[in-house]
């Protein structure tokens, strides 16, 4: 009898515990769900991050109308919409208002793992300095990585160089759009006096001197963004750039600048930042910036010198380029040094003379019934622009080509090479070979 009572009490105790635990878990689950829902609704109501209210945002560029369904963005990319920008590392130096020079920021998107790239850029074009009347400040835009060693290295770089701006979201392809939004927020609140911002990647050659020259020539409009324009690009439904039809049912994007490198004025930052509060964060960073520009009623200027798809190396073309995408650390130093040497030579000869050129004719030359091997048979040096090579050359040929008198020589011209001398006397060293 006693054993039966103990057994019964034990069974009752176990069942009571099971019921109690089930009740607690159920209550916790409901509380968690409702707290999440209430938090979500409170954020929408109070206008905190996210700033968006559920519904549709309609944007038009005069050609097409784009409807962005905020509900779908919350469904597919809730983190992009809800993230509140939180900094882990901030830069220091003369981005603060410590100089009378206008400030140009070189904002370089980088992953914590790419320390070698950052080190090479700091040795070449990404150095804080004065460039032709502008104070240039490089800043690396980064987020978090899962590797603790990489994160420690970022802290060390920040202490040593003061050029790291890091947020606490995780690095990923879609989260690059958060770098756009959070960087605009940082610019708006920390350095609203910035004159111009260049945005690029850490695998690029950037020419700060060419960028400053470009700003002086084309940067007068406070509402114009500059870069390689992608007009109404087709939407991809596959690859890592895929966008679902539920999120974006249209087949074309609005105009946007390629994310490989573009330039925008400081006066546009507030407009862009205000627009970021009204439209959802698109999961492709360059397209997202295009939507921001459209919402802010800004314009674009296309320029081919933004070489966002790369450029075959030629020292003279790299002198003119604003940015060249796809340059790794192993090539960066060589390219930078050669361009700098060419620039120094060019500045020296600027003080000597006007541009000169040489025309060298390579041909088989007929001496009556004889023909010489292919070799230079004429060399002319004139001032000014090259002659029209479709016209016969009026100057006499060099008599050193053979024992025959010039009047008996008939030049045949299958190939012409023009040597451009960058503002130098013929005896100087630097030459540009035009093809």
Do 399 and 298 belong together in one domain?
no
Do 300 and 365 belong together in one domain?
no
pLDDT, residue 400, reads 35
pLDDT, residue 347, reads 55
* Distance of alpha carbon 229 from alpha carbon 257, whole angstroms: 5
Do 275 and 415 belong together in one domain?
no
pLDDT, residue 92, reads 84
Quick check: 203 and 325 in contact, CB under 8 A? yes
Quick check: 322 and 305 in contact, CB under 8 A? yes
* Distance of alpha carbon 422 from alpha carbon 431, whole angstroms: 7
331 is a domain residue: no
Quick check: 301 and 268 in contact, CB under 8 A? no
Residue with tokens 């070979």: 433
pLDDT, residue 100, reads 86
389 is a domain residue: yes
Here the CATH number for the domain that contains residue 159 is 3.90.550
Do 248 and 151 belong together in one domain?
yes
Quick check: 78 and 283 in contact, CB under 8 A? no
43 is a domain residue: no
Domain boundary among 284, 304, 324: 304
What is the count of structural domains for the chain? 2
6 is a domain residue: no
Do 196 and 131 belong together in one domain?
yes
pLDDT, residue 98, reads 60
Residue 16, both tokens: 């009571």
Helices 269-276 and 176-190: angle between axes, nearest 10 degrees? 130
pLDDT, residue 314, reads 93
Do 214 and 142 belong together in one domain?
yes
* Distance of alpha carbon 123 from alpha carbon 336, whole angstroms: 10
Quick check: 215 and 198 in contact, CB under 8 A? no
Element holding 17 (H helix, E strand):
helix 2-46
119 is a domain residue: yes
pLDDT, residue 96, reads 60
Quick check: 102 and 135 in contact, CB under 8 A? yes
What φ, ψ does residue 307 adopt, rounded to 5°?
-85, 75
* Distance of alpha carbon 365 from alpha carbon 374, whole angstroms: 8
52 is a domain residue: no
Domain holding 170, by residue range, is 65-304
Quick check: 57 and 278 in contact, CB under 8 A? yes
pLDDT, residue 113, reads 97
Sequential pLDDT tens for the chain (435 residues): 666 767 677 676 767 777 777 665 554 454 444 344 434 444 444 344 456 677 899 999 999 999 999 999 999 999 999 999 999 999 986 556 666 899 999 999 999 999 999 999 999 999 999 999 999 999 999 999 999 999 999 999 999 999 999 999 999 999 999 999 999 999 999 999 999 999 999 999 999 999 999 999 999 999 999 999 999 999 999 998 999 999 999 999 999 999 999 999 999 999 999 999 999 999 999 999 999 999 999 999 999 999 999 999 999 999 999 999 999 998 999 999 999 998 887 655 444 433 333 333 333 333 333 333 333 333 333 333 333 333 333 333 333 333 333 333 333 333 333 333 333 333 333 232 333
* Distance of alpha carbon 15 from alpha carbon 417, whole angstroms: 97
Give the predicted TM-score (pTM) of the model: 0.70
Quick check: 59 and 296 in contact, CB under 8 A? no
* Distance of alpha carbon 338 from alpha carbon 336, whole angstroms: 6
171 is a domain residue: yes
Quick check: 109 and 202 in contact, CB under 8 A? yes
Do 296 and 362 belong together in one domain?
no
DSSP 267: G
Residue 67, both tokens: 């409807």
* Distance of alpha carbon 370 from alpha carbon 372, whole angstroms: 7
Residues 6+ apart with CB under 8 A from 345: 422, 424, 428, 429, 430
CB atoms within 10 A of CB 90: 14
Quick check: 204 and 327 in contact, CB under 8 A? yes
Do 77 and 177 belong together in one domain?
yes
pLDDT, residue 2, reads 64
87 is a domain residue: yes
């Amino acid at each position: 009898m006693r054993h039966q009572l103990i057994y019964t009490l034990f069974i009752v105790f176990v069942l009571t515990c099971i019921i109690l635990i089930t009740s607690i878990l159920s209550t916790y689950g409901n509380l968690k769900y409702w707290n999440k829902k209430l938090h979500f609704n409170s954020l929408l109501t109070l206008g905190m991050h996210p700033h968006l209210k559920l519904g549709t945002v309609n944007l038009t560029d005069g050609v097409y109308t784009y409807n962005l369904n905020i509900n779908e963005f919350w469904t597919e990319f809730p983190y992009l919409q809800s993230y509140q920008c939180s900094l882990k590392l901030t830069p220091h130096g003369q981005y603060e208002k410590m100089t009378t020079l206008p400030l140009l920021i070189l904002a370089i998107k980088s992953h914590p793992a790419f320390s070698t790239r950052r080190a090479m850029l700091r040795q070449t074009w990404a150095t804080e300095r004065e460039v032709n009347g502008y104070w240039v400040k490089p800043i690396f835009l980064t987020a978090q990585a899962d590797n603790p060693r990489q994160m420690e290295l970022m802290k060390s770089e920040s202490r040593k160089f003061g050029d790291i701006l890091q947020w606490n979201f995780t690095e990923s392809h879609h989260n690059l759009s958060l770098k756009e939004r959070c960087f605009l927020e940082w610019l708006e609140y920390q350095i609203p006096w910035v004159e111009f911002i260049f945005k690029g990647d850490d695998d690029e050659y950037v020419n700060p001197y060419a960028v400053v020259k470009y700003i002086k020539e084309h940067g007068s409009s406070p509402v114009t963004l500059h870069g390689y324009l992608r007009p109404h690009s087709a939407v991809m439904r596959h690859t890592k750039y895929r966008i679902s039809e539920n999120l974006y049912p249209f087949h074309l994007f609005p105009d946007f600048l390629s994310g490989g490198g573009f330039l925008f004025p400081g006066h546009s930052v507030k407009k862009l930042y205000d627009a970021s509060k009204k439209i959802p964060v698109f999961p492709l960073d360059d397209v997202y910036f295009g939507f921001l520009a459209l919402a802010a009623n800004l314009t674009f200027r296309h320029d081919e010198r933004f070489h966002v798809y790369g450029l075959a190396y030629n020292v003279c073309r790299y002198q003119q380029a604003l940015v060249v995408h796809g340059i790794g650390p192993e090539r960066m130093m060589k390219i930078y040094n050669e361009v700098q040497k060419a620039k120094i030579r060019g500045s020296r000869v600027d003080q000597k003379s006007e541009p000169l050129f040489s025309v060298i004719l390579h041909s088989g030359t007929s001496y009556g019934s004889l023909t010489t091997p292919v070799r230079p048979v004429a060399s002319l040096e004139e001032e000014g622009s090259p002659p029209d090579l479709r016209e016969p050359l009026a100057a006499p040929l060099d008599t050193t080509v053979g024992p025959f008198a010039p009047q008996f020589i008939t030049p045949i011209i299958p190939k012409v090479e023009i040597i451009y001398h960058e503002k130098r006397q013929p005896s100087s060293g630097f030459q540009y070979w035009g093809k």
